[in-house]
Chain A
Amino acid sequence: MLPPVFGVLFDGLAYGMLLFLLSVGQSVTLGMMNFINLAHCSFAMLGGYVTIGLMHRYGFPFFATLPCAFVAAAVVSIGFERTLFRRLYRASELDQVLLTVGIVFISIGIAAYFFGTDQQPLLLPGYLRESLTFLGTRFAVYRLILLGVALAITIILVLTLEYTRFGARVRAAVDNERMARGLGINVDRTFAVTFALGSGLAGLGGALAIEIVGLDPYFALTYLVYVLIVVSVGGLGSISGSFAAAIVLGISDIAGKYYVPQLGAFLIYLVMITLLMWRPLGLLGRR
């Protein structure tokens, strides 16, 4: 018989994995171009609505919608990157913040127009709603799958970045953009691909998140704060930093809600402020 703390840890870990999926793209693109993209969670929300729409209107099975969510978020994000974001790489932080907040507001309006402001119900197939009992603790199947997907994606990402030519370009651009340009690396194209990849992962995260945290038009704003916390605490451009920060954040959030519910999100903000004051570049930030 495991004590209940394991259940809390497990839920927190699954939640942390979700936050990691939502924020890893943001971390890498912020590290690369120093572009503060507050609209990142709008792409996650898009992924969520693609999944809901395909499942409920066209009867797609849940797993078939996940790649669609990824592709949709990636394609739309590249459209934005080419037309709007590109103009602001050299602009002031204030302009970047304002433009992307504007896009968040627009996405809230569009989502509310097409899907209403209610929480979207997700009807998962029966076998995903069950849970396994191991040593007296129940583990939800869905959360186990979430954990597996996130771990698989992390491994693929790390391997891609460490061992492929594309990964080497990305790392070079994150480390020193001007030097990378000087060496003939097409930083703009590398960035566009990375940006699409990161937004696609956010879209996938958004699709997987519905079951855990629900989906309404304010998703883009609510989870923006969490993503920013993960990114700034983990350190810009650091995948392992984001991974660690997401797990810490996920577990402390779930544990806080479980043990001291009256404090609400207070604890998390306090942890974030303390960590940032201690290490303004994040736990594993380098520059």
Chain B
Amino acid sequence: MALAEKATTPLLYLRAQARWRPVEIAFWLAVVSPYALFPDYLSLASQIAIAGMFALSLDLIVGYAGIISLGHAAFFGLGAYAAGLLSKHGWGEPLSGLAAAGAVAGIVGYATSFVICRFRHLALIMLTLGFGLLLAELANSLGWLTGGMDGLQGIHTWKLLGYFHFDLYGYTAFGYALAVLFVVFLFARRLIHSPFGLSLRGIRENFVRMPAIGAPSRSHIRTIYTIAAAIAGIAGALLTQTTETVSLDSLDLSRSADVLVMLVLGGAGRLYGGLVGAVIYMVARDQFSGIAPQYWYFWIGLLLVAVVILLPNGILGGLAKLTSRWSRS
């Protein structure tokens, strides 16, 4: 951090920001540990990797570009259904399925981004919410295509790279999800530490001023929204391929809310926030899965209020504050 503050030119600043820190390397080494430490929880671990990727895609628009979306699950669900339908109709190859799902979600994201980039404040929140609800209703009423309430049946994922079979314990699923997450993360990290990523943060801070210094807010928002949609679609497709099922709740409003909670819990606008939030949220939900969902929501609500009041930048924000205070003294 100290290096970054000393940087004199923008390029040096970005380079200093983009340097890999020891904590990051330790984090990525630690995520492989479930293979050795919790072999019984590998399917949960792959769910966490997927949720983390979804939260990462939301972070790109909420944390960096400052666009609050209450309907991000639309893209997750689009990707999930795209991969599911492809597999159901005879093409179960996983990697090309991911690409196709990402493309479908990205195209829809690109189309809606023309609307998204024009609005701010309440209208923006309502539009994202409206798009999400609209898509969920559409999937519900197109029962012949999506299977409606029963979910999509008959999905079969082929062997990964023609060799790794998707086993019952989730060995392949976890490795696959983790590998895809890492690749996507590298892409997002590169994006954030580029001049484009810097101007996104500028847009978040002041939407009107950025065009005045030569960064077109709207086209930047369109780009990042499309990218975030594609990543969310890939996350949805991963869930479909590893669980071999898709249901309507992949599009649900509560999925949009959950991912927002994960992101905020970890800390929005810090790349790792969504990942850390996903780990904590999913593990907690697994541990408390015995209690009724309405009580689960009570505790999540309490947590949200506490985070907003006490930890405005999430857990990672709080930790960063602690370490900077510690290193100063």
Contact = CB atoms under 8 A, between A and B. Distances in A.
Contact of B130 (A84, A113, A272): A272
A109 B295 CA distance: 5
Main secondary structure on B side of the interface with A:
helix
A101 B294 contact: no
A108 B122 contact: no
A139 interface: no
Q: Which of B70, B137, B297 has most A Cβ within 10 Å?
A: B297
Interface residues of B, number: 42
A229 B260 CA distance: 21
A263 B127 contact: no
Interface in B37-79: 62, 68, 70
A112 interface: yes
Contacts of A269: 130, 133-134, 137
B12 interface: no
Contact of B301 (A93, A97, A103, A225): A103
Interface string B110-148: 000001001101110111011101100110110000000
B75 to A, nearest CB: 16
Given A93-B68, A102-B308, A262-B141, A273 B302 contact: no
B301 A104 contact: yes
Nearest to B122: A232
B257 A225 contact: no
Q: Describe A's contact surface by its main secondary structure.
A: helix
B202 to A, nearest CB: 16
Contact of A95 (B123, B126, B301, B308): B308
Contacts of A183: none
B284 to A, nearest CB: 14
Contacts of A102: 300-305, 308
Contacts of B123: 232, 276, 280-281
B144 to A, nearest CB: 12
B250 to A, nearest CB: 18
B111 to A, nearest CB: 13
Given A84-B309, A97-B68, A232-B122, A263 B141 contact: yes
Contacts of A93: 68, 121, 125
Given A265-B133, A272-B126, A280 B301 contact: no
Contact of B297 (A88, A109, A276): A109
Interface string A86-110: 0110000111011101111111111
A94 B141 CA distance: 32
Most buried by A among B125, B134, B294, B295: B294
B302 A276 contact: no
A112 B301 contact: no
Contact of B134 (A109, A113, A273, A277): A273
A199 B196 CA distance: 44
Interface of B: 62, 68, 70, 115, 118-119, 121-123, 125-127, 129-131, 133-134, 137-138, 140-141, 257, 260-261, 264, 268, 292, 294-295, 297-305, 307-309, 312
Given A103-B301, A105-B304, A276-B119, 18 more contacts: A93-B121, A93-B125, A98-B264, A98-B308, A99-B309, A102-B305, A105-B298, A106-B301, A110-B298, A112-B294, A112-B295, A113-B294, A228-B129, A232-B126, A264-B140, A273-B134, A276-B123, A276-B126
